[in-house]
């Protein structure tokens, strides 16, 4: 039986060894309720047969888009390996206990930044953000920084995963895994 997650694990391990910067960086494409698309880079924070996990402010543009349209696409591009992985599927929030555990593992300044930032909202000047960061640092001085209520995790649950390998003369290899109605995966090839 085809297993796209085992293949992803293999490719991801090779990317971690080969890529100089951020092998876990992935483009996240979302769309709002009207279908207007948007894409940005985020970091993969967990993966497995249950999906691909990232974290963000739910009040950010991507958080609002995911609330309106809970579907997304991901793209990993590992240039050193000349490979790409494309993932499409529905999106769900991770449980609070999982988000709490990941937030607690982050660097303290990253935790404070999550409290200080109104992600994706207009900022009048850099000093405003820096002042807010200092205020939050003072507020939580000497103690743990709890996860902000608006900061959470999302999991893309794939129904389609494509593995792309660069080949000479544009004779690339494209392996497509699609989730079938029985919950198993079917594998096929696509023309480049």
Active site residues: 170
- Residue in the structure block whose two tokens are 């449980």: 95
Measured CA to CA in angstroms, residue 62 lies from 23, 77, 121, 150 at distances of 21, 20, 12, 13
**Are 30 and 62 in contact, with CB atoms under 8 Å apart?**
yes
CB-CB contact of 25 with 78 (8 Å): no
Torsion of CA 141, 142, 148, 154, to 10 degrees: 120
């Amino acid at each position: 039986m085809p297993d796209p997650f085992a293949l992803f694990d293999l490719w991801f391990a090779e990317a971690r060894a080969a890529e100089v910067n951020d092998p876990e960086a992935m483009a996240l494409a979302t769309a709002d309720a009207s279908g207007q698309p948007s894409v940005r880079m985020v970091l993969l924070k967990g993966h497995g047969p249950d999906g691909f996990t990232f974290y963000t402010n739910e009040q950010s543009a991507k958080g609002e888009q995911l609330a309106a349209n809970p579907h997304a696409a991901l793209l990993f591009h590992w240039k050193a390996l000349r490979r790409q992985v494309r993932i499409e599927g529905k999106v769900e929030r991770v449980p609070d206990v999982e988000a709490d555990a990941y937030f607690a593992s982050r660097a303290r300044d990253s935790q404070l930044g999550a409290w200080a930032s109104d992600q994706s909202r207009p900022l009048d000047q850099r000093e405003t953000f820096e002042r807010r960061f200092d205020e939050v640092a003072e507020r939580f001085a000497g103690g743990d920084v709890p996860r902000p209520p608006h900061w959470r995790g999302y999991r893309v649950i794939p129904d389609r995963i494509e593995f792309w390998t660069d080949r000479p003369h544009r004779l690339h290899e494209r392996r497509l895994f699609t989730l079938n109605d029985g919950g198993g995966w079917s594998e096929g090839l696509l023309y480049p």
